[in-house]
Structure 1
């Protein structure tokens, strides 16, 4: 789940937004009253969503957006008059008066979009080390020798056991080696 940072000039407004988010299952990482404070918090996080108002005590939302680190999106909460000037800029927005239902649905949509984007950007699993690959190969060789399997059958067997047990392939191969070498 992506990080949430709430930024409003009035602390009570920020706390109300945080409370709505928490009540609906979102984890809020920071509540700030200034854009500088929000930027400081964002630099400690990997990415997420910034929920903010139109005007903060030290800058407007447009300036905050320009300074945000990569991986963050903005959800603007403002009046319809302000939102009409923002259309087409790529900023997600919720109009005032604020509906908790609309806020929660918009946040959910933004988080699903961020998850899809992360998956698209990082489609390849990390490469196995030589030692890990040797463990898998030894487990396959043991299965092939003792159970008269082909290499692909042994590999599929380890994969299936891995999925059934909820462990990764290397751990499962180690279990096969441990159990079959007794």
Structure 2
């Protein structure tokens, strides 16, 4: 789950930004005043965005960034002189005074980037190694030869047995190979 955490030393500023984001339909996990509280909120979600000021009650934004998991990004809202020398990895900066339009567009852009990266990671996980592909092909070939199936039928057979047994398709293909090779 993606969450947005708002962290500002002034509780009113944090609440105002939280309310702005919530009114736009964004999932705000929490608003707080310290980096430690932000870390607690970060533990409750898988990934997210931390919207914060330059200096919190207990640490600077750069320290908080170091403590956050890699799946988190940070939106720093500060005067340009605070971050003109450059920002750390995973930190985007917005100038003070902030415009609502800029805040919403920036957060939306960051959320879209996170969704794109999540989809890309999911696609990478779905890819099979050449050895796994070969095991599936061998199992299909064996099913086609022994049971007079077409390639499509053999593929559906492996898929169905994979789903029925709760194993992935590679494991099912290996089971077919071990049973039918005897």
In which range does the TM-score fall when normalised by the shorter chain? 0.5 to 0.7
Note the residue ranges of structure 2 that are not aligned, 5 or more in a row: 129-149, 157-162, 164-182
Aligned to 1:83: 83
Contact 1:9 1:55 in 2 (8 A): yes
> Given the superposition, is the C-alpha separation of residues 88 and 3 from structure 1 closer, same or farther in structure 2, using an over 3 Å criterion?
closer
Contact 2:52 2:61 in 1 (8 A): yes
Counterpart Cα distance in 2 of 1:29 and 1:40: 11
Contact 2:50 2:72 in 1 (8 A): yes
- TM-score after normalising by structure 2: 0.68
Aligned to 1:65: 65
Aligned to 2:30: 30
Aligned to 1:41: 41
> Given the superposition, is the C-alpha separation of residues 88 and 36 from structure 1 closer, same or farther in structure 2, using an over 3 Å criterion?
closer
Note the residue ranges of structure 1 that are not aligned, 5 or more in a row: 128-149, 157-169, 171-182
Matched position secondary structure for 1:5: strand
Counterpart Cα distance in 2 of 1:8 and 1:111: 20
Displacement of 1:54 in angstroms is: 0.3
- Aligned ranges for residues 93-108 of structure 1 at < 5 Å? 93-108=93-108
Aligned to 1:55: 55
